[in-house]
Amino acid sequence: MGTALPPALPVAEGLALGEKRFADLAQLYAALHGDSAPRPGFSDRIVPGRGPEHAALFLLGEQPGDREDRAGQAFVGPAGRLLEQCMRDAALDPAALFLTNAVKRFKFEPRGKRRIHQRPNAGDVAHYRWWLGQEIRIVQPRVVVALGVTALHALIGARLPLKNVRGRVRGWDERTLLATIHPSYLLRLRPDGGYEEERAAFVLDLRRGPGRRPSSADHQSAGRIWDAKPQPRSALSSARAMRPAASPMP
């Protein structure tokens, strides 16, 4: 018998998951374009989520990047392309998932011709939290995957250390919540600095999301999705002990 799940995580105040205001995502995004003025330091473009309107798996990132802002689509930059590769490695169909961000505009600092990503603060996350709640209410996912600390903060209203919750299936509202790293973290790792080990661990986290047990070919020590804690990843333990200083943010 598997270990019982740990206590459910809280639902952030302001998500208003039970408040029905829009019939579909098209109405939601039209209202968001019209009613939400850019905060200082943000692009004036709203970047909506993408994917089926009723998807079982809902992946939440931090905010659009420069590429996403210019394209008007979520997860189309380098981190998004890496995420899609990892999802395929996890036997997930990217076309069957809903992808969006906690903050709906790109926050940046101009430096010459470049726009440098700036991490959104708690006020920025709170500003878009109600709209995120409406996205979740419309999509009605069974599983929500928080990609990074900012996404987790948007969902539960608190900034928990990611290492305390990563890869552990938790109850949340009437759904399942799983937190893992943001794929941009992998882009900051050197090939000789733990990249392959961290990428493999990320793929295992994604496999846990939809309730699917990783196969022995993935990793014999991956554990069951419904366990309170994943079983130790023995092949990855030494690599994790030498994890580089880069933070698994956003």
What residues does each domain of the chain span?
25-241
So what's the pLDDT on residue 4?
61
Q: Which fold has domain 25-241?
A: Uracil-DNA Glycosylase, subunit E (3.40.470)
DSSP symbol at 64? -
| pLDDT per residue as tens digits for the range 35-80 | 767 788 999 999 999 999 999 999 999 999 999 999 999 999 999 9
Separation between Cα atoms, residue 165 and residue 122, nearest integer Å? 20
| pLDDT per residue as tens digits for the range 142-190 | 999 999 999 999 999 999 999 999 999 999 999 999 999 999 999 999 8
CB neighbour class for 6 (10 Å; exposed up to 12, middle 13-18, buried from 19): middle
The pair of structure tokens assigned to 120 is 């959104």
% residues pLDDT > 70 (the chain): 82
What size, in residues, is the chain?
250
CB neighbour class for 19 (10 Å; exposed up to 12, middle 13-18, buried from 19): exposed
**Residue 97: closest CA among 28, 32, 144, 165:** 144
So what's the pLDDT on residue 35?
72
Separation between Cα atoms, residue 30 and residue 218, nearest integer Å? 42
